[in-house]
Structure 1
């Protein structure tokens, strides 16, 4: 049995799509376990670029069983569009299965998302307005509608009618917005039901059977540790659990079945949206990182805020995920920047702290403590082993490992599949 959980070790956007795609070659089953279409994974296959939002990255390899787990909130409109786009490019999606326990995103979830974000004014969280939060709210409030309800149309209709009565009243009285028409949603979702019915399955059983039979399973998270609902920079977080524990809940497996947890970390730090960011860089170096690293959101196109590598965050990610290894991405983007800085701690109230604080008020007042290290000028995109990397580059990796307390297993020196250095096999 080989079960590997892949998590983001920063604020998301760490390059998980490339690493998932790379590992999926050896995996036999790939499971997406949380989040929704607010996530975006960019994968390069040769010169072709694929942007995936709901479909697991393993779909780009023929014959891999790809599961959308029960912890995901599924927007069927986005999913159908994604499946059609993949089919147009010759990708076979017949191996995809969607959990009957996963919750559906409905049009009113998007409406509520946009209305509430607008109402927050200057205190906006930076939601993608794709209905993710409201769908998880309904799930927790036990009023959600699940993918399996598409298989029983009368059940679906009854639940939708009950929900709309409450939602339309809320939209009118709180947000001064028009409501939704039951028949219009039913007409739209009837088409999705016909299209997705063959793909709906008991994915909990499928993944546990795969593990029992010794198959290699990769659990793919969206977003990152610092966006986790409990462990992230609350309230500037997502509405689910991107950490490794979320794989157990979102895929329906016991924690004893996980063998390894691989944290994906960018060679620098980025985040999208509001909230404190101690190691953020303003000025020309931040602009250079953004442009060289193509730091724009896969889903929204929003420019990402860029900063130096923050090992306070990494140590937090290592603790809460139980990381057994790291996949270091976008190392090539740092080429030409000299010296480099690494954030080793925060200065708060005259003291140095090295543990990530829960309080945003404290975090906003933290100043980064930096260690300067030499940069390198050599192009590293053709490197295929540690020995191929410049000495300064190898030193940067060693220092990251020392400060994070976790070894680096994979190194990405470019976006393509072959631009990957394997230090230690994951599967």
Structure 2
């Protein structure tokens, strides 16, 4: 669990100030009294957040001789001036959550509906996950793990194998939700590994305090292999031209990559998640022969600008994109080795990306070799 505190100031990727967070971790095998500590710290906090696990957890907090039991709810929710967040890493059994809220409301938990926020990217625990949990434990016999049989492990397994369902699926089109539920459609068209900044800590055992610069590598246009929503995709001659000039064929799959213009809303979201401090822009030379180049700078849904990146595939498939159109430079830049020697229109393209992302572009790639990586002073 993480509690927002006032023990220092940090900078977001876009330069805005934010308070650092205070993190409470159990240092043994559980049952250390984390809930009590979170409740104590939350009395002076604006936000209290839960980042992982499910209703297999159990925290008892006593306030004014009233005993509150929490399983999914962050323990700091008792503080009436504190908002509580259930994050995307938590797996949620909705009937259990409703039961927990009502039970604690009867004990004196006030205004929880106004103060509880839940990520729509959090995965849902279904009854069949709990049944699978119980059957797996039964099958192990004397070698069972002693799980709580709340379905937490099987739900995370569904998440890793990409056939789980998230809260966003339930909030979207219900017919699509039923189709996914009964015919196990996959939700993200990505790898199951942890490719964000958090994966650095878990994959190497590094504490977050050791991380300095976070460099986001950005192609001068956008590509992807396989299925999935692609708002800036070009299904015309321009997309084919990008694919051919850029040699956009998957190294592993040997499939042609789908190509489209640069997608800024996507990059703003990944920058928010990872905290980029610098950008390395690659394959700028692929755009050499275009009369004009475009940058998708905002999404529209039903004619209205979106101020968030959609977690629902239904929403993401429905967005329209507004573009900035910039003049091309119509010059071979592959032999250029200094940023100031780039054509003005190429430099303008780079500066526009920096302006839109509010993260500095520090390197620009104009070819395949290491010597083709230009430093931006």
**Does residue 254 of structure 2 align to residue 324 of structure 1?**
no
Following the alignment from structure 1 to structure 2, what is the Cα–Cα distance between the partners of residues 138 and 404? 34
Report SS of the residue matched to 1:237: coil
Deviation at 1:139, TM superposition (A): 12
Match of 2:188 in 1: 235
> Which ranges in structure 1 are unaligned for 5 or more consecutive residues?
1-133, 142-232
Cα RMSD after superposing both structures:
2.2
Q: Aligned match of 2:268 in 312, 315, 318?
A: 315
Q: Tell me the number of residue pairs that the alignment of Structure 1 and Structure 2 aligns.
A: 199
**1:400 maps to 2:342:** no
Residue number in structure 1 paired with 2:228: 275
Runs of 4+ in 1 over 6 A off after TM superposition: 138-141
Distance in 2 between the 1:408 and 1:378 partners? 21
Q: In the alignment, what sits opposite 1:301?
A: 254
Distance 1:354 1:380 in 2: 36
Shift in Å, 1:328: 0.3
Distance of 1:308 and 1:339 partners within structure 2:
11
1:404 Cα deviation from its structure 2 partner: 1.1
Within a 5 Å distance, the mapping from 1:366-377 to structure 2 comes to 366-377=319-330
TM-score, normalised via structure 2 length: 0.51
Partners of 1:311 and 1:354 lie apart in 2 by 12
Unaligned runs of 5+ in 2: 1-153, 162-185
Q: Is the 8 A contact 2:285 2:367 kept in 1?
A: yes
Deviations 1:41-91 (CA, angstroms, capped at 9, x unpaired): xxxxxxxxxxxxxxxxxxxxxxxxxxxxxxxxxxxxxxxxxxxxxxxxxxx
Could you tell me how far apart the structure 2 residues matched to 1:332 and 1:363 are? 29
TM-score, normalised on structure 1?
0.45
Q: Establish whether residue 262 from structure 1 lines up as the match of residue 215 from structure 2.
A: yes
TM alignment of 1:169-184, pairs within 5 A: none
| Secondary structure at 1:418 match in 2 | helix
Find the structure with the greater CA-based Rg: 2
Q: Distance in 2 between matches of 1:261 and 1:281?
A: 30
Deviation at 1:354, TM superposition (A): 4.2
In structure 1, the residue matched to 2:298 is 345
CA distance in 2, matches of 1:254, 1:338: 47
Q: Distance in 1 between matches of 2:283 and 2:323?
A: 20
Q: Structure 2 matches for 1:46-65, cutoff 5 A?
A: none
Is the 8 Å Cα contact of residues 219 and 284 (structure 2) preserved in structure 1? yes
2:100 aligned partner:
none
Aligned residue in 1 for 2:34: none
Verify the 8 A CA contact 2:365 2:373 in the aligned structure 1: yes
In the aligned structure 1, how far is the partner of 2:337 from the partner of 2:279? 17
Please give the alpha-carbon distance, in whole angstroms, between the structure 1 residues aligned to 2:158 and 2:235.
39
Give distance in 2, aligned partners of 1:140 and 1:422: 38
Check conservation: 1:344, 1:354, Cα contact below 8 A: no
- 1:365-389, Cα deviation, whole Å (9 max, x unpaired): 0011111111111110011111110
More helix by share: 1
In structure 1, distance between residues paired with 2:159 and 2:196: 19
Matched, 1:410 2:369: no
- The structure showing larger relative contact order (alpha-carbon pairs under 8 Å, at least 6 residues apart) is 1
Paired with 1:378 and 1:343, the residues of 2 have a C-alpha distance of 23
